[in-house]
Structure 1
Amino acid sequence: MDPIEPTKRPADGTASNALPIEIPDSSTDEPAAKRVRIDETSQASQGTTHKAPRPRVKGVAPIKEEYLVLAHSQATKSGGETEDIDDDAAEGRTAPDAQGLQQGPGKGAKRKKQKGGQNKERDFGTFSDAQRLCNSVAWTPEFSPRPCKQGDRCNALHDIRKYLKEGRRADLTTFGGKCPVFEKYGKCPSGWRCLFVGSHMKEVKHEDGRSELVVLGVGSESTADQGDGDVGEVKPGVVNVVPASVKIDLSRKRVALDKSDKYLDWLAKDTELLREHYHKKKDDEDASKDYRAQYVEPPLKPSEKRRIYFGRETPVLAPLTTQGNLPFRRLCVELGAQVTYSEMALGLPLLQGQKADWTLMRAHETEITPPLFNPSGSVVQGYDNTKDLKFGAQIAANVPWVAIKAAEVLSRFLPHLRLIDLNCGCPIDMVYKSGAGSALLDAPSKLERMIRGMNAVSGEVPITAKIRMGVRDDKFTAHKLVERLALGSEDMRGVLGAPGCAAVTLHGRTRQQRYTRAANWSYIAECAALVKQYNEKCDDLADTVRQVEENTLPNGGKMYFLGNGDCYSHVDYYDHLDKAKVDSVMIGRGAIIKPWIFEEIQTGQYLDKSASERLTYVEKFARYGIEAWGSDELGLNYTRRFLLEFLSFFHRYVPIGLLEYLPPNMNERPPAYRGRNDLETLLASKNYKDWIKISEMFLGPAPPEFKFQPKHKSNSYEIDAEG
């Protein structure tokens, strides 16, 4: 891919759907949220007299009066507060109660009362056909079935005509009754189970007078050439599909992980040696010297890593639980996202070959194309953009051996992998209590051992980490952790060298804060300044005798630093780059609510998307979901489920043309309002029944067995908790 010039920020929009609003200079110290009021320039130039604008109320989206349904005073609570939407619950997270983390910094602070908790056991109903079709006939012509392994004991249907008539519901009429997968790729991995199969089947008459049903577009890659466990698993355009045989071997512990085993044996001995000679007398300098004298180098050293790049032109899509699925990432890449991450997978289930976690590692072919880069930017020596790609994997682990072995299996079995990111910030109770995620923030020695070990066994795949500011509000630890990830522990870096962490992403909140406060970009800026010093220190250390081989240094001596939190517009994005001095910005909730934020970053202007354009993105998500999960009953209702999860955020977007002030703020909640047309009003609905109505435009009527329940019982989205 050819390099591009650095992204510019035009003062006036040129696109037909862009608002001609002046982009404020990022050098000003005035907060972006207070800089621009829509139309104030044009009003002044025309010399018209208008009544004084309503003041901007904190926490309330500034909807223009003509679009309000209720009086402003009725739409807000006393004091101008609006009802909070629990984004922790929306991402499947419960309140942190393990260590009493709702307790404030003061001794007498009261615990924050929770709103009803999370629906921990949500039931989405059954997605299966009325009668199951046997795999032996699911992809074959009517008279040429494959041998059925169950034989006479099989209780599934083998009669295709009976299955089409009684075993499933009738073909859908959405998308013109034509299978979107077959229409695009000329084949459909769902075979006879496809709910559009009538568009790619035919009845063939033979010379003996018999009529045979034949399904079209079933290639050998979906049948004979694959093992039984892989039939229908290979989807067009999807990469990183691990064969079922590998997962079975992992589950039965038949995969030899020689690198990890050798390293873990050494790590156990080295840890014991360190405990014996160093921790025995913490104040004795000779203890440290004694350890150095007996230190034995690890059995293998890190391989030369593939260089990576982050810059102004590479906005990053955050790893998102549930929401960061393949169809959503594909939509974001199409709209300009340059780096993507898988949903967080747990390390131990990966090692056990569990299908659910390995499925999270799948990527679309658009994610394995090179990201944009600016050759005059912060490109490290040896970076080759033609060998770079967008997709990275994120994992969570609570002990070093899980993280290290998971890194080895991922680098071995995933051919398209930019990097492996260790999650050190997840606040989910289940993850935190197990010692993974944000619990690692209080275990820096363990975290360092994980990064070092992963770096040693991952081959050419770089290792990165995502952290939060700390666990508690009254104790920020990220600045110390960043130094450790860049250089290693102060006492041992001369022996062990740098851990080899190629990039660190800092989410500007603590575990305790969750989403209850704005992201702390001032602290992110402080850490970014420290990282710059550490990178310079790495260069100095490389010149000393005590420094080990250069391949222990991250990314050839440079550790990239990214910021994360509350980025909802191109103004936010460039403000963070220019003021916090981070290499790039990772975008999470802002991308779910407004996926075209990446397009705004590329064009440098606000985009007032019409309701029809936004509905087009919903349709694309539905199409991409069918391609990823299948066009059968199971695949369509998986698509429906994740589309509804997407709409639970997507409906929160307030169109730019309805706002009185810019820039928009994702944490501001709008009073009741109507859109510029009925479709825009429908897309803004908080009622889950309207979301289902939208899904039925593309996925057909939801089956009676399908259920949708919110992730939170507090009715914060105005959804019936019974679903």
Structure 2
Amino acid sequence: MQHSEQPEPPTEAGVVPETNEPSSKRQKISHDATVDQRDRKHGMAPIKPEYLISLEPQDVVDDDAAEGTVAAGDDATGKSDPRDSGGKKGKKKQKGQNHNRSFGSFEDSLRLCNSRMLSNEFSPKTCKFGERCNMCHDLRLYLAEGRRPDVETLNGKCPVFESYGRCPSGWKCRKAINQNSMIIRTRDLVSLMSHQPTLNGILHEKKVVLEKSEAYIKWLDRDSEITHKIYNRKQGTEDAPVDPNNLEELRAQFVDPPFKPSEKRKIYFGRETPVLAPLTTQGNLPFRRLCTDLGAQITYSEMAMGLPLIQGQKGEWALMKTHESELASPRYTPENGKVVEGYDNSKDLKWGAQISGNQAWVAMKAAEALTKFLPHLRVIDLNCGCPIDLVYQTGAGSGLLDTPNKLEKMVRGMNAVSGEVPITVKLRTGVRDGRPTAQRIIERLAFGNADFRERLGAPGTAAITLHGRSRQQRYTKKANWEYIAECAALIQSYKNKKHDLTDTAMEPDASTQANTSDDRMYFIGNGDCYSHVDYFDHIDNAKVDSVMIARGAMIKPWIFEEIEKGQYLDKSASERLTYVEKFVRYGLEAWGSDEIGLGHTRRFLLEWLSFTCRYIPIGLLEHLPPNLQDRPPKYRCRDDLETLLASTNYKDWIKITEMFLGPAHPNFTFQPKHKSNSYEIDAEG
């Protein structure tokens, strides 16, 4: 593979001085010369020989020495971390799941009362708890002993104050409090976070009534009761073949739903709209903002659980907060034949919400609550792919793949109560290896149950995303893009199949359909997309409308920039560090610049760094394209900063956070999910 510029060979110390050339002159590799036919060792990243390090064991005395090499298959010391039980005989090592992990506590030693937090020192507000309040009311005592010293990083300035001219953390802000800032911060301090309604007790106290859902659930219960009664009486079991006499009796007793779905807003997925997947934990607001800056055209919230949403739990509603960058319109090509009739790009948005539920009534009420309280919402996506046990065992996530009747009811009900917001679904190929069920489910979502579609019409799914792995596979092995292509071809055939299934008299009502007058349903593929080559290959060969990117974006979020430019970008270590700084600034804006906000920002930054360390710079590879599943042998990088960013030692990740957030709280702890390079997102939506 011939590059436009060859990196200098490493010096004796294994370090190449960092280049100061502008980004326009950095190494850029075009799409036309990306594939090298030389033999590649399966699962091993093809590192250039001059960057390889011999595999002789090396004793590492301190954590600074961990920056000298980048290892695969072990941590900085080569010893097992006792926290992952790797060295205890007889105890099974935890891997592949999101296990409960403690990050310690990070708050002030003296908790300042909220009545003082945003008040002038000499005219404080009255505390509503009076003498019963157990928080600190002495501002001078709090500043002297109750909080840690000011953080001087980021030029000693509060990113929130720099962006908005005010800081909601008030006196708790740990960014360089002085006399001038004390005066400024006492002026009209208000919360900068987007307003979320108080929804506690929707279910039990009926403070908020979801009228559409209540009416539709009553109709659905009655219809299900009649169906079960007829089938059980005449055939003795629900699984027996359908008797035509039963269908006639069902038609006779059928009552129309209380209302029909509203006309849906038209949406668009295309070649120019790469999608950032909904990611549990890491799909937070700061990371989504960073990906949006780098070219992501569609984003989703982290997966929110349906029942806590309708109960009004603040933690779940906090996942629904967005930034104005996500409320812009995505790119689109008006001349593209796939643009739907009536699509208005100015009314389209980038951001959608993803929810999970195990019962139809939960999904319906959650969908209505979201559309009622979130005015800026592109779509509501139903998660049918989450593989973790906590979700699967309740019947939600990938548990819905084995219950197509329930899944159809959920989508049909959500479509009925969601107003103009379209409903989309994310699937896996199936629950078990070798037993794919996605084709059967896709047909059900496109047309509905074959026995009842003429009564109810189609469920109304606007788009389907298919992750090319089963629930059993989780994130191991390669995604099955051949199967995704088969499903894409199946969807392409639905328009013709629809004409065979219906005639003029039986034409389904347009309001029950997905997204267009010709019933077009978008189809998005997901799995192992790690470069613009992968992205365009999937669109051209698998015939999907767009590709959803998950781990590829977590390892290198500039993959969206590569897709837009159609070329590889060899990002320098200093550029990658600026993305870390951006994340920190966005994190402090989202979670606050007080002690707790810094702790949350540090925690989620560490989670992200556990993925970015897997990035292998393009200039170090012998040939392309890179593979998401490849792991490198032991190698050295081109400069010290690049080596630090590639370290798999979590102590080095903490060092990186301290560049922007200062020293961690004494009680803060970080436990990596696994040892070394085995990090995975466990609950990708």
TM-score, length-scaled by structure 2: 0.87
AA aligned opposite 2:292: V
Q: CA deviation at 1:162?
A: 1.4
**What is aligned with 2:10?**
none
Aligned equivalent of 1:192, options 166, 171, 182: 171
Residues 482 and 15 of structure 1: is their aligned pair in 2 closer, same or farther, counting only changes over 3 Å? Answer: farther
Aligned match for 1:390, one of 350, 365, 368: 350
Q: 1:580-632 CA distances to partner (integer Å, 9 max, x unpaired)? A: 00000000000000100000000000000000000010110011000110000
SS at match of 1:363: coil
Matches within 5 A, 1:367-406: 367-377=326-336, 378-406=338-366
Question: What is the match of residue 141 of structure 2?
Answer: 162
SS in structure 1 at match of 2:352: strand
Find the aligned partners of 1:490 and 1:248 in 2 and give their Cα distance.
Answer: 39
Name the aligned partner's letter for residue 256 of structure 1. V
Residue 409 of structure 2 aligns to a residue in which SS? Answer: helix
**2:26 pairs with one of 8, 17, 20:** 17
Corresponding position of 1:590: 552
- 1:364-397 deviations in Å (ceiling 9; x for gaps): 1100000001112211111111010000000100
Are positions 1:633 and 2:595 aligned together?
Answer: yes
**Displacement after TM superposition at 1:15 (Å):** 4.3
In the comparison of the two structures, how many residue pairs are matched?
625
| SS of alignment partner, residue 515 of structure 2 | helix
CA deviation after TM superposition for structure 1 residue 180, in Å: 1.3
Q: Does structure 1 residue 173 correspond to structure 2 residue 152?
A: yes
Whether the aligned pair in 1 keeps the contact of 2:425 and 2:461 (CA below 8 Å) is: yes
1:258-337 equivalence runs, <5 A: 258-278=211-231, 280-281=234-235, 282-337=241-296
The residue type paired with residue 312 of structure 2 is: G
Query: By how many angstroms is 1:544 displaced?
Result: 2.5
CA contact (8 A) 1:541 1:547 kept: no
Q: CA deviation at 1:542?
A: 7.2
Give the root-mean-square deviation of aligned CA atoms.
Answer: 2.5
Tell whether the 8 Å contact from 1:72 to 1:671 is kept in structure 2 after alignment. no
SS of 2:354 mapped into structure 1: strand
Instruction: Determine if contact 1:188/1:217 at 8 Å carries over to the other structure.
Output: no
Counterpart position of 1:472: 432
Q: Secondary structure at the match of 1:499?
A: coil
Change (3 A) 1:491 1:634: same
Q: Distance in 1 between matches of 2:124 and 2:503?
A: 69
Aligned residue for 1:162, secondary structure, equals: helix
| Secondary structure of 2:383's aligned partner | strand
2:188 is matched with which residue: 219, 227, 236? 219
Mapped to 2, the partners of 1:294 and 1:12 lie a distance apart of 73
Hey, what's the Cα distance between the residues in 2 that align with 1:70 and 1:146?
66
Q: Deviations over 1:242-278 (max 9, x none)?
A: 13x3346567431111110100000000011122234
CA offset digits 1:345-378 (Å, max 9, x no partner): 1000111111111111111110000000111221
Higher mean C-alpha displacement, 544-553 vs 464-473: 544-553
In the alignment, is residue 684 of structure 1 matched against residue 646 of structure 2? yes
Kindly indicate whether residue 29 of structure 2 is the aligned counterpart of residue 69 of structure 1: no
**Which residue of structure 2 lines up, in the alignment, with residue 144 of structure 1?**
123
Shift of 1:168: 0.3
2:196 corresponds in structure 1 to 242
Cα displacement (A) at 1:686 = 0.1
Partner Cα separation in structure 2 for residue 286 and residue 718 of structure 1: 56
Encode CA deviations 1:296-352: one digit per residue, 9 max, x unaligned: 110011011111000000000000011100000000000000000010010001111
Q: Distance in 2 between matches of 1:596 and 1:436?
A: 32
Q: Which consecutive residues of structure 2, in runs of 5 or more, have no partner in the other structure?
A: 6-22, 59-71, 76-83, 85-90, 236-240, 681-685
1:189-588 map, 5 Å: 189-196=168-175, 198=177, 202=180, 214-216=183-185, 219=188, 222=190, 232=191, 234-235=192-193, 239=194, 241-243=195-197, 245-247=198-200, 252-278=205-231, 280-281=234-235, 282-377=241-336, 378-538=338-498, 544-556=504-516, 557-588=519-550
**How many Å apart are 1:84 and its aligned residue?**
11
Q: TM-score when scaled to structure 1?
A: 0.83
CA 1:316–1:72: 2 relative to 1, 3 Å: farther
Matched residue type, 1:388:
D
Give the superposition deviation at 1:147: 2.0
Pairing partner for 1:618 from 570, 580, 583: 580
| Structure 1 letter corresponding to 2:481 | W
> In the aligned structure 2, how far is the partner of 1:709 from the partner of 1:397?
29
Deviations 1:688-715 (A, max 9, x none): 0000000000001111111001123x56
The residue identity in structure 2 corresponding to 1:69 is I
Alignment of 1:592-611 (within 5 A): 592-611=554-573
- Residue 16 (structure 1) shift: 2.8
In 2, the alpha carbon distance for the partners of 1:511 and 1:36 equals 33
CA distance in 1, matches of 2:146, 2:342: 58
CA contact (8 A) 1:187 1:217 kept: no
Q: Is the 8 A contact 2:485 2:541 kept in 1?
A: yes
Aligned residue for 2:440, secondary structure, equals helix
Asked if structure 2 preserves the Cα contact closer than 8 Å seen for 1:535 and 1:559, the reply is: no
Paired with 1:601 and 1:690, the residues of 2 have a C-alpha distance of 31
Name the amino acid aligned to 1:487.
Answer: F
Whole-angstrom CA distance in 1 between matches of 2:522 and 2:134: 57
Taking structure 1 as reference, are residues 218 and 329 closer, same or farther at Cα in structure 2, changes over 3 Å only? Answer: farther
Equivalent-residue separation in structure 2 for 1:262 and 1:471 (angstroms): 33
CA contact (8 A) 1:23 1:571 kept: no
Provide the secondary structure at the position in 1 that maps to 2:387. coil
1:562 counterpart SS class: strand
Q: Does 2:641 align with 1:675?
A: no
Distance 2:522 2:220 in 1: 27
**Conserved in 2, the CA contact under 8 Å of 1:191 and 1:215?**
no
Q: Which residue of structure 1 aligns with residue 11 of structure 2?
A: none
